[in-house]
Amino acid sequence: MQIRFTTHALRKFEVLRRHGFRVSKQHVVQAVESPDRIDYSRLPLLIAQVDFDRRRVLRVVYKIEAGILVIITFYPGKKSQYEK
């Protein structure tokens, strides 16, 4: 499946880097291709989640449009908040 990043998602790499959270495009793509879990509560948006390190998860918000997976944004989260 083809994957496209929105402009917002592309800018998010730099924003998070400035806050000390380094994530690559590869991390984000792997999260949507092999998530530990998927949150369906915001349909038609999907939120893929994967472990990132001991304390955090990476959450990726995306949708599928005309067979293209569109990554809208992504963000780190505390495991304690998202793994219940």
- 3-55 confidence digits (pLDDT tens): 999 999 999 999 999 999 999 999 999 999 999 999 999 999 999 999 999 99
Quick count: other Cβ atoms within 10 Å of Cβ 53?
A: 10
33, amino acid identity: E
**pTM, two decimal places:** 0.94
3-state SS assignment for residue 38:
strand
Q: What is the pLDDT of residue 82?
A: 86
The DSSP letter of residue 19 is T
Domains of the chain: 2-79 (3.30.2310)
The full length of the chain comes to 84
